[in-house]
Amino acid sequence: MTITLRAERRSNRCSVLTLVLVSCAALAGCTTAPFGYPSPQPGPSTRAPGGSARPPEAEPAPRTNASAALLEQGKEARAAGRYAEATATLERALRIDPNNPLLWIELAEIKAADGDRAQAREMARKALTLAAGDRAIESRARRLL
Amino acid sequence: MKKRILLYVLLAIPVAALAYGAWVWGRIAREFDDRHWDLPAEVFAAPLELYQGLRLTADDLTRELRRLGYGPVSGRIAPGLFRRAGNTIDVHRRAFTYDGRSFPAQVLHLEFAAGRISALEDGDGNPLPIAELEPMLIGHLFSSHGEDRIILGPDEVPKLLTESLKAVEDRRFDQHWGIDARAMLRAALANMRAGGITQGGSTLTMQLVRSYFLSNRQTYTRKIREALMALVLELRHSKDEIMLAYVNEIYLGQNGARAVHGFGLASRFYFGKPLAELDVHEIALLVAIVRGPSYYDPRRNPERARARRTLVLERMRDAGLIDDAAFAAAKERELGVVSVETRRATYYPAFMDLVRRQLRRDYDDKDLEQRGLEIYTTLEPLTQAIAEQALATELERLERAMPGRPELEGAVVVTNPHTAEVRALVGGKRTGFDGFNRALDARRQIGSLVKPAVHLAALESGRYSLASHIDDVPVTVELDGGRTWSPKNFDDTVNGQVTAVRALAESLNLATVNLGLEVGLDRVARTLERLGVEPRRPLYPSLLLGAIELTPYEVAEAYNTIANGGFRTPLKAVRAVVDGRGRTLRRYSLEIEQVASPASIHALNQGLVQVMRRGTGAPAQRLLPAGLMTAGKTGTSDGSRDSWFAGFSADHLVVAWIGNDRNASTGLTGGSGALQVWARIIGAVETSSYDLPPPAGVERVHIDYRTGLSTDPTCPDAIELAMPAFAVPPKAVACGSTNTRTGSRLREWIRNRLQ
C-alpha cells in the first residue's frame, strides 16, 4: 500500500524551533540586546495553572505516616529475607502513596535482592521520574540501572 | 400360560423396584455427594485501608460498615458493631484473615475532619498508622453451574436456626428415616378434605431432595419418588450432614434472574450480614420464608412475612428454644430487611467474569473448586457502586432527553493507574445480571481516543512540542486502487495554522491527520504498540482518526500507561490466591515496563489537562469539585455510533463507553455521553489532582493557547505546558501578540548555544 500526501494548501510549517533559530540568528547579527529582562520568565517551579492559584493540595503528612510505617515493615521483611512479604507490604504502601519515590526505590532494591534484575531496573526508572532532584534516590537508582 | 405371565409380572415388580432403587442410589451418590461436600473458591473485594489523612468521611465509613454488615449501636460495642457520634466512629472490627495474615478483632477509634480521617487510634487511645477492615466476600467461583452461594461449614450454622427449622418444618427430624408417615397421613387427610393438594407433610430430607432433583409440581407420583430418594439419602448420610446440606441448599428467594439458595446467601441477601450475627427475630424471618419465598417475600409482602414470623416465633417458644421475654421482644422488632440498593451492590457479575478470565490463565476450572481456595481481588465496592450509579443515571437522562433513540448501553472501567489494579468494572446497565460483558467484549471503534498516541509519536520524534504549529487544513490521501480519503473536522471547519495543544484539546481531525502523516503512520503504529494496542496491518491513514476497534478494557489498559507516566503494566483484578491452609499459592505482583519517555508523556499529559480546561472535556467541569485537575480525551466513532471518554486524576483512571448493542448510530459524541458518566465518577470518588512535578528533561512554561508563544501566566489565553528547554518558544511582547520580545529571543538563542 502506498500513501502519498497531497496537502491542498500548505501554509508554511512553522516549527517553534526554526522560528527561534532564525530570529536569534538575525538578532545576533545586528543588535546588542540589553541584558536586563523586563519581566522574569516563570521558572519551572511556578506551578499555578492558567494564572489561577492552585487549591492547597499540600499532601498531608499523615498520608506519609501510613506509608512510612509500611515502608519500615517492608524494610524489616527485606532484611529478614522475606521478599514476598516485603513486596506485598511495599505494594500496599504504594496504593496509599504512589508518587513517593522512596517506596519505588525500596521496591526496586527488594526486586534486586530477590534476583529480579529486570523489575529492579524498571522500578528504579520509575523512582527516578519521581525523584525531582533527590540525590540520595538518584544514586540508589543508578546503582540498579 | 396366563399363570406364567402373571408370574413374570410379579417377578418384574421387585426387579423394577430394585433397579429403580439402584438408579436413585447412583444418582444421589453422583450428584449430591459431588456437589455438596466441595468448597468452591471464595472471592474477596479489596479491604478498605484506614489511615490518618485518607479522604473518607464519617458517612462514607458508616456506609461501608453497613455494607459489611456492621450494626450501629449507642452503647457498648462488640465485634460486628459500631458506634457513631457526629464525626467520631468507634468500630469493633471482626477478626479475619487476609492473604494469609490473621487480624484479631480490634477496637478502632476514628475521628473525621475536613473530609478526611483526622485521627486513628486503637481502643486504648494509642495512635495506629494503618488499619484494615475485613474485605467483603463478593462471591464464589463455580465453573460447572453459574449460581452463587455462600457455603457454610458445620460450625458456621447457628444452633438456633437448625432447631427452629425442626420445630417449624419437621418436628420428628431426629427420629424419622427421611419420611414422616404421621405427618404425611395428616397432610393427606387435610388434602382430601380440601379436594386437592394443599399440605405437604414433607420432611426436611424430602424438601432437600425436591430442591435438588425434582420439579416443584405437586403430584402423588412425585411425592413417592421424593420419599424413596429421601430414604436413600438417610441411609447414606448422617442427620448432621443432611441438615447442613439443607441449610446450604434450600431456596429462599429471588434476586433478579438469580435464585438465592442457602441460608448463608439469604442472610446477606435479606440482612446484609453473616448468618452468625443474626438475632432471634432475623432467624425467625428466614425460617418463615422457607415455606414460600415469593408468598412471604419480606420486601414485597411485609405484612404476610411478619405474620408468619410471629407464628415461627411462637413455635420456637413452644419448643423451648426461646423464653417468653425473648419472644415478646422479637415479636415487636422491625423486619430489618436491607434496602434493594444495599443488596444490589453485593453482586458483581462483570467483575467476577474478569476474575474468572484472569485466573483461567493459571488455573483450570477444577483447581478453582478445590477445597477452600481464597481469591483476593482488587474490587472496591464503594467505587463500584459509584460507577454503576453514574452509568445508570446518565443512560436514564439520555433516554429521557431523546426518546426513540436506539437503546443505549454502556460500560465502565476504573483503575488505579499506578498499580493497574481494576477498582471497578461495569459491563452494562443491568449490573446485577450475568449478561453480555461490554467492558470486556464490546469491541468498538475508538475515534479520537487515538489522538494522544499521534501526539505522543510526534513528541517522541523530538521535532515537536505542544506549542508547535500544525496545519488544520484539508488533506486528501490517495489509497490503493485510486481511492482517496478526505477527512473533515467534526464541525466541518478549517482553522488554518493551530497550536498542537489546540489540535489536541479541540480534537481537530485535519490537524491530527496532517501531524500524523508528517510523523509517519508507521511511527504512530509503533507508539500504539508500545501502549499495548496492535493496529492491523497494512496501515491505513484512517488509523490516525481512530479506525481501530478496542474494548473498553483494552482502552483502559492503553490509557493506564499514559496516566502512569509511560510505565506499562497489564491491568489486574486478582492480587493473590491462598489455599485453605493460609498458604499463598500465587501472588500477582506489580510489574512495570517503561515504554515511553517520561518527558514526552509528561508533555502530552499537560495537553490532556487542556482538553479538560478548554477543549472537548470542558463540559465536565460543572460535575467536578472546583480546582480538581484532571486529564482526558473524548472519542466519537464514525456516524456517532460510540461515545467514549478516557481520563484520569492522580489516583483514578476511568474509561466510559456508551453505544448501542447492534452498533446503531446513537447521535452522541464523546462529550455528550461518556464524558458525563466519567465526570460523575471522578466527581464522586475520593481522588486528588493530576499534578506531578516535571521529570528531568522538561520544564513547565506558560504558553499562549492560540499563538504558541511564551507568555505571562496572567494572560487570558495562558496555559501551562511542559517541554524540553530547547523547545521553549520566545516570549510575546503582550498577551496574544505574535510579536516576540527581543530580550526573550536573545535569551533563547544563548540558551540554544549552551545546550
Mean pLDDT of B197-214: 75
The CATH number given to whatever domain includes residue B475 is: 3.40.710.10
Question: Which pLDDT does position B139 carry in this prediction?
Answer: 79
d(CA B100, CA B102): 7
The predicted pLDDT at position B702 comes to 95
Do B316 and B238 fall within a single domain?
A: yes
> How would residue B599 be classed by pLDDT, with cut points 50, 70 and 90?
very high
Domain stop point among B343, B365, B396: B343
Indicate the pLDDT class of residue B100, thresholds 50, 70 and 90: confident
Residue B127 clears pLDDT 70, i.e. is over it: yes
CB atoms inside a 10 Å sphere around CB B264: 21
Residue B442 lies in a domain: no
Residue range B126-138: average pLDDT?
92
Tell me, yes or no, whether B564 lies in a domain: no
A65-69, B430-434, B444-448, B458-462: which range is least confident on average?
B430-434
Q: Which of B422, B432, B436 is nearest to B575 (CA)?
A: B422
What is the three-class DSSP state of B531? coil
Helix (H) or strand (E) holding B577: strand B574-578
For residue A9, give Cα distances in angstroms to B472, B494, B514, B646: 10, 11, 11, 33
Which range is least confidently modeled, B369-378, B453-462, B658-667?
Answer: B369-378
Cα–Cα distance measured from residue B336 to residue A64, given in angstroms and rounded to the nearest whole number: 41
How far apart, in Å, do the first and last CA atoms of chain B sit? 118
Residues 6 or more apart whose CB falls under 8 angstroms from that of B307 comprise none
Q: Which domains does chain A have, with CATH numbers?
A: 81-144 (1.25.40.10)
Q: In whole angstroms, what separates CA A122 from the centre of its chain?
A: 13
Average pLDDT over residues B441-464: 96
Q: Does pLDDT of B23 surpass 90?
A: no
Please determine, for residue B233, whether its predicted confidence score (pLDDT) is greater than 70. yes
- Tell whether A2 lies on the interface with B, counting CB pairs under 8 A: yes
Residue type present at position B92: H
Centroid of chain to Cα B654: 13
B151 and B113 share one domain: no
SS3 (DSSP) at B86: coil
**A37 in reach of chain B (CB within 8 A):** yes
Q: Which of residues 120-139 of A touch B (CB under 8 A)?
A: 122-123, 125-126, 128-130, 132-133
Q: Residue B237 contacts by C-beta under 8 Å, 6 or more apart in sequence?
A: B245
Q: Where are the alpha helices (DSSP H) in A31-82?
A: 61-79
Domain span at residue B146 reads 13-36+141-343
Residue B396 has pLDDT above 50, yes or no: yes
What is the H or E stretch that residue B631 is in?
strand B631-636
Which residues of chain B have a CB within 8 Å of the CB of A70?
Answer: 129-130
Cβ pair B676, B394 in contact under 8 A: yes
Confidence of residue B753 (pLDDT cuts 50, 70, 90): low
The DSSP-derived string for B175-196 is TSSS--HHHHHHHHHHHHHHTS
* Alpha-carbon gap, residue B432 to B446, rounded angstroms: 27
> How many angstroms separate the Cα of B102 from the Cα of each of B94, B99, B106, B539?
11, 8, 12, 54
Could you report the per-residue pLDDT of A13-54, keeping only the tens digit for each?
434 444 444 444 444 333 333 332 233 333 333 333 333 333
pLDDT of residue A51: 35
Would you tell me how many other CB atoms lie within 10 Å of the CB of residue B459? 30
All 3 cell numbers of residue A45? Answer: 517551579
Cell numbers representing residue B88 in the block:
467520631
Q: Of B32-41, B153-162, B494-503, which range is least confident?
A: B32-41
Phi and psi at residue B519, to the nearest 5°: -70, -35
Q: How far apart are CA B385 and CA B115, in angstroms?
A: 19
Q: Is residue B649 within 8 Å of residue B682, measured between CB atoms?
A: yes
Pick the catalytic residue: B164, B448, B465, B600?
A: B448
**Chain B within 8 Å of A68 (Cβ-Cβ)?**
yes
Q: Is residue B472 part of a domain?
A: yes
Residue B465 has pLDDT above 90, yes or no: yes
pLDDT tens, residue by residue, B517-555: 999 999 999 999 999 999 998 999 999 999 999 999 999
Is the Cα dihedral B206, B208, B214, B218 positive or negative? positive
Contact B499, A39 (CB under 8 A): no
Instruction: Pick the closest to residue B447 from B558, B548, B324 (CA basis).
Output: B548
Is B522 among the domain residues?
yes
Total of domains in chain B: 4
State what percent of residues in chain B have pLDDT above 90: 57
> Contact B476/A8, CB-based, under 8 Å?
yes
Q: Which residues contact B703 (CB under 8 A, 6 or more apart)?
A: B466, B467, B499, B501, B709, B710, B711, B718, B719, B720, B721, B729
Q: B168-188: per-residue pLDDT in tens?
A: 998 889 988 888 888 778 877
**Contact, B100 vs B372, CB < 8 A?**
no
- Contact (Cβ atoms closer than 8 angstroms) between residue B513 and residue B487: yes
Average pLDDT over residues B17-23: 80
Pairing of strands B49-50, B496-499: unpaired
- What are the pLDDT digits (tens) for B57-91? 999 899 889 878 888 999 899 999 999 999 999 99
Q: Tell me, yes or no, whether B118 and B145 share the same domain.
A: no
Place of cell 483447581: B367
pLDDT of residue B434: 61
> B201 and B65, same structural domain?
no
User: CATH no. for residue B297?
Assistant: 1.10.3810.10
Question: Alpha-carbon torsion B119, B123, B125, B127, what sign?
Answer: negative
> Among residues 8-27 of chain A, which lie with CB inside 8 Å of chain B?
8-11, 13-17, 19-21, 23-25, 27
What percent of chain B clears pLDDT 70, i.e. is strictly above it? 91
State mean pLDDT over B203-216.
Answer: 79
User: What's the pLDDT score for residue B340?
Assistant: 62
Shortest Cα distance from A15 to chain B (angstroms)? 5
Between strands B496-499 and B421-426, the pairing is: unpaired
Provide, as residue numbers in chain A, all residues whose Cβ is less than 8 Å from the Cβ of B108.
none
Determine the average pLDDT of the residues in B423-442.
Answer: 86
Of B343, B359, B385, the residue that ends a domain is B343
DSSP string, B465-520: -TTSEEEE--EEEE-GGG-EE----TT----EEEEHHHHHHTT-HHHHHHHHHHH-
* Greatest C-alpha distance within chain A: 70
Q: Which residue has the higher pLDDT, B147 or B643?
A: B643
Residues of chain A with pLDDT under 70: 1-63
In a domain, B231, yes or no: yes
In a shared domain, residues B31 and B64 = no
Are residues B172 and B29 part of one domain?
A: yes
Residue B371 pLDDT level (bands cut at 50, 70, 90) = low
**Residue A28 with chain B: CB contacts under 8 Å:** 746, 749
Q: What is the pLDDT of residue A19?
A: 43
A27-36, A115-124, B133-142, B329-338: which has the highest mean pLDDT? A115-124
- How many Å lie between the alpha carbon of A53 and the closest alpha carbon of chain B? 9
Chain B residues within an 8 Å CB radius of A98:
416, 418-419, 650-651
Inform me whether the C-beta atom of residue A31 falls under 8 Å from chain B C-beta atoms. yes
Residues in chain A: 145
- Going from the C-alpha of B99 to that of each of A89, B17, B268, B415, B423, the distances in angstroms are 11, 53, 23, 21, 18
Distance from CA of B383 to the nearest CA of A (A): 15
pLDDT (0 to 100) of residue B536: 92
- State which H helix or E strand residue B15 sits in: helix B2-27
Name residues whose C-beta falls within 8 Å of residue B596's C-beta, 6 or more positions apart in sequence: B456, B460, B527, B530, B531, B561, B566
Task: Indicate whether B106 and B243 sit together in one domain.
Answer: no
- Please tell me the least confidently modeled range out of A34-43, B92-101, B473-482: A34-43
Does one domain contain both B121 and B225? no
**Residues of chain A contacting residue B54, judged by C-beta atoms under 8 Å apart:** 63, 66, 96
Parallel, antiparallel or unpaired: strands B593-594 and B567-568 = antiparallel
- Tally C-beta pairs within 8 A across A and B: 230
Cα dist. B406→B284, B587, B661, B678 in Å? 48, 44, 9, 21
CA dist A61 and B427 (Å) reads 38
Q: What is the pLDDT of residue B697?
A: 84
* The pLDDT of residue B238 is above 70: yes
Same domain flag for B171 and B66? no
For residue A52, give how far its alpha carbon lies from the nearest alpha carbon of chain B (Å): 8
Catalytic residue among B64, B134, B169, B374: B169
If asked whether residues B116 and B150 sit together in one domain, one would say no
Mutation target for A interface from B50, B52, B597: give the one with most A CBs within 10 A. Answer: B52
Q: What is the mean pLDDT of chain B?
A: 88
Question: Is B741 inside a domain boundary?
Answer: yes
Residue B312 has pLDDT above 90, yes or no: yes
pLDDT of residue B221: 75
A61 touches chain B (CB under 8 A): yes
Would you say residue B50 has pLDDT above 90? yes
Q: What is the average pLDDT across B318-327?
A: 94
Interface contact A37-B744, CB threshold 8 A: yes
Assigned domain for B494 exists:
yes
Instruction: Note if B593 is an active site residue.
Output: no
Q: Span B218-236, mean pLDDT?
A: 80
Q: Point out the residue among B51, B416, B696 whose CB comes nearest to the CB of A66.
A: B51
Q: Provide the grid cell at B121.
A: 487510634
Q: Which residue has the higher pLDDT, B193 or B614?
A: B614
Average pLDDT over residues B25-36: 67
**Residues B147 and B95 placed together within one structural domain of the fold:** no
Beta carbons within 8 Å of B241's beta carbon, 6+ residues apart: none
- Does residue B70 sit in the same domain as residue B151? no
Residue with the three cell numbers 481481588? B377
Of B520, B547, B574, the one marking the end of a domain is B547
Distance CA B302, CA B304 (A): 6
* Cβ contact B580:B371 at 8 Å: yes
CA A49 – CA B705 distance, rounded (Å): 13
pLDDT in the model for residue B34: 58
Residue B435: all three cell numbers together: 449478561
Is residue B6, in this structure, part of any structural domain at all? Answer: no
- 3-class secondary structure per residue, B311-361: HHHHHHHHCCCCCHHHHHHHHHCCCCCCCHHHHHCCCCHHHHHHHHHHHHC
Helix%, strand%, coil% for chain A, nearest 5: 60, 5, 35
> What is the widest separation between alpha-carbon atoms in chain B?
128
Q: How far apart are CA B445 and CA B252, in angstroms?
A: 44
**Burial of A54: CB neighbours in 10 Å, binned 0-12, 13-18, 19+:** middle
Please measure the distance between the N-terminal and C-terminal CA atoms of chain A and give it in whole angstroms: 41
B710 in active site: no
In sequence order, the 6+-apart residues with CB closer than 8 A to the CB of B68 are B133, B134, B136, B273
Please tell me which residue, B440 or B16, carries the higher pLDDT value.
Answer: B440
Q: CA B236 to CA B32: how far, in whole Å?
A: 11
